[in-house]
A and B are shown apart, each in its own frame.
Chain A
Amino acid sequence: MSDKYLDLTRSGPLAVVAKKLGLPRPAKLRRTDPRSVDTPLVPGPVLVLADEGSTAEATTIAEGLLDWDLDVRRDSRLPEHERWGAVILVLTGLSHPAELSAPALELGSTLRQLASSARVITLSRSAPAPAPSPDGVAPALAAARHGVDGFVRTTAKEMRSGTTANGLVLAEGVEVTAPSVRGGLRFLLSARSAFVDGQLIAVGSSAGSEPQDWVRPLGGAVAVVTGAARGIGAEVAAVLARDGARVIGVDVPAAGEALAVTMNRVGGIALQLDITAADAAERILELARSRYGHLDIVVHNAGILRDKTLARMTADRFDALLAVNIAAPLRMNDTFAGELGGGTAPRIISLASTSGIAGNRGQSNYAASKAGVIGMTRALAAPMAQRGGTANAVAPGFIETEMTASIPPVPRQVARWSSSLQQGGQPVDVAETVAFLASPQAGGINGQTVRVCGQLMVGQ
């Protein structure tokens, strides 16, 4: 699936026309080359900036980046012909909104010298939760910390040439050397996060561990992906396998032909199974255990669409959709609970949708199921943490798949242009985020919903 507009306006006469008319000119995003994963990690030197109260932590971060052989700098001046690969803004010490000004403006001075598909990444602390006692929270601290939210989202909207701006939000007590801070930083720096834009990812704890091999962090893991025959599911299977996991792909028997092709491509096992069957999870677990001894990662990707406005909605459309999209994952999780792990730490990753966050006309059933996934994920966080694991969701925005190819051309183009990156994402973009959340270094990210939407202008 490709965006013809994007291909045509990248160069040649139509590029000139588009520029003159002020039409969107989306950039070709830097994505992972499967033959040289994470090489180079970023397209240029990495600048680490900080507010005054964060210089010590900024130094720790900068030193940590050297482990990955990056060209790390602290001085924001750059020779004219050079381009920054990334700018990291460490704001963990902010205590008053006024302290944001200096580092923000210093970041601003570097923006004209960013490479294509460069990265702006903030590190900040989570705003304290409202306390019951009248003197529990300092309003200035809360304002400073939550201020980063609006700052990152706006910066993302001002970026050009495939550059993204995202933030990691550290819970109180989480060191900047925690596995998921380092892991999250690496993910956001890399081409793996090409279509993640304008997002703030919460690192809630110091759980997790750095992988033995950053390029193949899923070595030793066994994963199951539902709905693996085509589209996003097929790419999830491929990226998990690329990252070292052994993969079982599940899809309905009728999709078996495509499933076999996909699983042979990734060297996995094809399981023709309807996930709404009562014993679906038992059969998956049994297969994983008999072949590999354990099951570590579950990706609930299978989903269907049954669009109708609510006035025209029928019971069969509503019920069939809920059965596949949310009832099946709920039932399967009951079986998987306590049974995952043994190779790597347990992970449950579910596919949500921006429709589940912002709503979407004609998708009352779909949006309810996908918002349900977000709720389910939050509720799973604590029990999964107890078992040393995590549950997270990934919410794709407009992704170029067979499914979205059936949308009429004009609404389809409008949907693409409704994101800061002015294009649809590729299935691999969603898969990369799933693979990151599945990795050992993501163990401190739990109960979250990470959007992969190019900063689609709906919802948060």
Chain B
Amino acid sequence: MASTHRQAAIIGGNRIPFGKAGSAYGSVGNKDMLTAALDGLVARFGLAGERLDEVAAGAVLKHSRDFNLTREVVLGSALDPRTPAVDLQRACGTGLEAVLTVANKIALGQARVGVGGGVDSTSDAPIVVSDRLRKALLRASRAKTLKQRLSALSSIRPADLAPVAPDTGEPRTGLTMGEHQALTTARWAISREAQDEIAFASHHRLAQAYERGFFDDLITPYRGLDRDESLRPDTSLEKLATLKPVFGKQIADAEATMTAGNSTPLSDGASTVLLADEEWAGERGLPVLARVIDAQVASTDFVSGEEGLLMGGAYAIPALLARNEMTLAEFDFVEIHEAFAATVLTTLAALEDEDFCRTRLGLDGPVGSVDRERLNVTGSSLAAGHPFAATGGRIVGTLAKLLHERGESELRPSQPARGLISVCAAGGQAVTMLLEAGGSQ
């Protein structure tokens, strides 16, 4: 079915370096960061003053004043102010969903060129006031007389003033994302060492990619940062082994293995991806790094406990492979978002597990395994950080460039290299995407 429509070309990506929560970008919000990422993209491709057909982006933690965030960002950018924009959200899958939205419009001929992206700030997160205070303030704002207003305000009690801090808890279970993952980690008996190895590889591979200049045309520095703030090029397995577990301490019969070292840090950042139809790109001499071939979303029933919160990828990936008649062994690159090192490992374990694949997926045997040398080859979220909605754009930009560098597949002779992306998200969701290397223009 992939051949019945035109494919969206990925021209390039741009992001700002990801900052640690409360640090380099502590004083800026989503609008500023996304504008910086977008303007960097515009400058890289010489698009100042151009009217694009769509800019789709979103944020997971969003202030109510940012109701039209992406459009406001466009208006503050170097793009033609007549460029339309849409906000969307699918938790941590927001960035990838935004890229997919634009890619689909291009595939259907509804747009020729657009930008997908995302942004999040955990430093500038909205603080929610208590329901009683909020209701009193709303009553006061509706009041017609001074007496009514005073009466509304006088109903506020000191306890109502305590803010409700943001957290990453699931509304239906009350568990944080880390606690949810800890349950899955225990179920699949993932070892501490295996998780630390994922974290170690993430930092070293990301550092190496920076060293070879890989990010020179993927990142525009911002506010004094020119590398991701969470990156620890000198981290070692020994250092990682010294960290105390933070999640899973309440689980009986299982050792707590998830630490601050093998869990992603809270981060701030923004990313963007430029997509177009190939004709549009060709007219302007723009490169086609990769093409969007297909995508698949899935959700799990994590509320009943039937499946883990972050296991959506184990369901979306097999569906995507089946539709495109591919196996895991045919991908030159696989990008699995490192929400936690254990998320990557439990997803891979499930895909390798015969029982899981038979009973949960209804397949005849295991989906297969991923060659670790092809997994997250330039590091992922553990080292780069994970500003929720910005992660999808980061991965797409990175993978598109990797595919372009590779060109012909090492695994599928005389075929373009292919890459797979899987990003898990709150609510038991996952977004996966299949990209193929594009020819140089």
CB of A272 within 8 A of CB of B217, answer yes
**A260-B220, A264-B78 are contacts. A291–B286 as well, Cβ < 8 Å?**
yes
**B16, closest chain A residue (CB):** A257
For residue A267, CB closer than 8 A to chain B, the reply is: yes
CB of B42 within 8 A of CB of A264, answer yes
**B50, closest chain A residue (CB):** A267
**B287, closest chain A residue (CB):** A290
Name the contact of A261 in the complex, choosing from B39, B45, B49 (C-beta under 8 A): B39
For residue B219, CB closer than 8 A to chain A, the reply is: yes
CB of A263 within 8 A of CB of B48, answer yes
For residue A5, CB closer than 8 A to chain B, the reply is: no
CB of A290 within 8 A of CB of B441, answer yes
CB of B46 within 8 A of CB of A257, answer no
CB of B221 within 8 A of CB of A254, answer yes
Provide the B200-234 mask, 1 if CB < 8 A to any CB of A, else 0: 00000000000001011101111100100000000
State how many angstroms separate the Cβ of B17 from the closest Cβ of chain A: 10
For residue A256, CB closer than 8 A to chain B, the reply is: yes
Q: Which of A273, A291, A292 has the most CB of B within 10 A?
A: A291
State how many angstroms separate the Cβ of A253 from the closest Cβ of chain B: 5
CB of A269 within 8 A of CB of B216, answer no
For residue A259, CB closer than 8 A to chain B, the reply is: yes
With a cutoff of 8 Å between Cβ atoms, the chain B residues found around residue A267 in the complex are 46, 48-49
A277 to B217, CA, bound (A): 15
Contacts between chains A and B (CB distance < 8 A), count: 72
For residue B43, CB closer than 8 A to chain A, the reply is: yes
For residue A427, CB closer than 8 A to chain B, the reply is: no
Q: Which of B49, B215, B220, B441 has the most CB of A within 10 A?
A: B220
Q: Which of B43, B45, B217, B284 has the most CB of A within 10 A?
A: B43
For residue B397, CB closer than 8 A to chain A, the reply is: no
For residue A444, CB closer than 8 A to chain B, the reply is: no
State how many angstroms separate the Cβ of B190 from the closest Cβ of chain A: 37
CB of A257 within 8 A of CB of B78, answer no
CB of B42 within 8 A of CB of A290, answer no
With a cutoff of 8 Å between Cβ atoms, the chain A residues found around residue B44 in the complex are 260, 269-272
A263 to B41, CA, bound (A): 11
For residue B285, CB closer than 8 A to chain A, the reply is: yes
For residue A268, CB closer than 8 A to chain B, the reply is: yes
CB of A291 within 8 A of CB of B221, answer no
**A267-B46, A272-B216, A272-B217 are contacts. A256–B286 as well, Cβ < 8 Å?**
no
Provide the B23-38 mask, 1 if CB < 8 A to any CB of A, else 0: 0000000000000100
With a cutoff of 8 Å between Cβ atoms, the chain A residues found around residue B223 in the complex are 257
With a cutoff of 8 Å between Cβ atoms, the chain A residues found around residue B219 in the complex are 253, 256
With a cutoff of 8 Å between Cβ atoms, the chain A residues found around residue B427 in the complex are none
For residue B40, CB closer than 8 A to chain A, the reply is: yes
CB of A264 within 8 A of CB of B287, answer no
Q: Which B residues from 34 to 91 make CB contacts under 8 A with A?
A: 36, 39-40, 42-46, 48-49, 78
Name the contact of A257 in the complex, choosing from B45, B215, B222 (C-beta under 8 A): B222
CB of A263 within 8 A of CB of B43, answer yes
Q: Which A residues from 281 to 327 make CB contacts under 8 A with B?
A: 289-293
A254 to B284, CA, bound (A): 27
With a cutoff of 8 Å between Cβ atoms, the chain A residues found around residue B216 in the complex are 253, 272-273
CB of B40 within 8 A of CB of A260, answer yes
With a cutoff of 8 Å between Cβ atoms, the chain A residues found around residue B213 in the complex are 253, 277
- Chain A interface, DSSP helix/strand/loop, else mixed: helix
Interface size on A, residues (CB 8 A): 25
**A261-B39, A291-B285 are contacts. A256–B46 as well, Cβ < 8 Å?**
no
**B220, closest chain A residue (CB):** A256
A291 to B11, CA, bound (A): 13
Q: Which of A254, A260, A271 has the most CB of B within 10 A?
A: A260
CB of A257 within 8 A of CB of B221, answer yes
**A293, closest chain B residue (CB):** B285
With a cutoff of 8 Å between Cβ atoms, the chain B residues found around residue A277 in the complex are 213
Provide the B423-441 mask, 1 if CB < 8 A to any CB of A, else 0: 0000000000000000001
State how many angstroms separate the Cβ of A271 from the closest Cβ of chain B: 8
A214 to B167, CA, bound (A): 63
State how many angstroms separate the Cβ of B232 from the closest Cβ of chain A: 20
With a cutoff of 8 Å between Cβ atoms, the chain A residues found around residue B48 in the complex are 263-268
**A264-B42, A264-B43, A267-B49 are contacts. A254–B226 as well, Cβ < 8 Å?**
yes
CB of A292 within 8 A of CB of B285, answer yes
**A272, closest chain B residue (CB):** B216
With a cutoff of 8 Å between Cβ atoms, the chain B residues found around residue A256 in the complex are 40, 219-221, 226
**B284, closest chain A residue (CB):** A291
Q: Which of B46, B49, B287 has the most CB of A within 10 A?
A: B46
With a cutoff of 8 Å between Cβ atoms, the chain A residues found around residue B226 in the complex are 253-254, 256
State how many angstroms separate the Cβ of A250 from the closest Cβ of chain B: 11
With a cutoff of 8 Å between Cβ atoms, the chain B residues found around residue A260 in the complex are 39-40, 42-44, 220
State how many angstroms separate the Cβ of A94 from the closest Cβ of chain B: 51
With a cutoff of 8 Å between Cβ atoms, the chain B residues found around residue A269 in the complex are 43-46
A260 to B215, CA, bound (A): 15
State how many angstroms separate the Cβ of A291 from the closest Cβ of chain B: 4
A263 to B220, CA, bound (A): 13
State how many angstroms separate the Cβ of B136 from the closest Cβ of chain A: 44
A269 to B11, CA, bound (A): 14
**A264-B43, A264-B48 are contacts. A257–B36 as well, Cβ < 8 Å?**
yes
State how many angstroms separate the Cβ of A284 from the closest Cβ of chain B: 13
CB of B46 within 8 A of CB of A291, answer yes
CB of A257 within 8 A of CB of B220, answer yes
A293 to B285, CA, bound (A): 9
**A277, closest chain B residue (CB):** B213
With a cutoff of 8 Å between Cβ atoms, the chain A residues found around residue B284 in the complex are 291
Task: List 7 interface pairs A-B (beta carbons < 8 Å), by A numbering.
Answer: A253-B213, A257-B223, A267-B49, A269-B44, A269-B45, A272-B220, A291-B286
Please give the residue numbers on chain A whose beta carbons come within 8 Å of chain B beta carbons, in ascending order: 253-257, 259-261, 263-273, 277, 289-293
Q: A253-B213, A253-B215, A269-B43 are in contact. List 6 more A-B contacts (CB 8 A).
A: A253-B221, A254-B226, A256-B221, A264-B42, A273-B216, A291-B285
The 3 A-B residue pairs with the shortest CB-CB distance, nearest first, are A264-B78, A260-B43, A269-B46
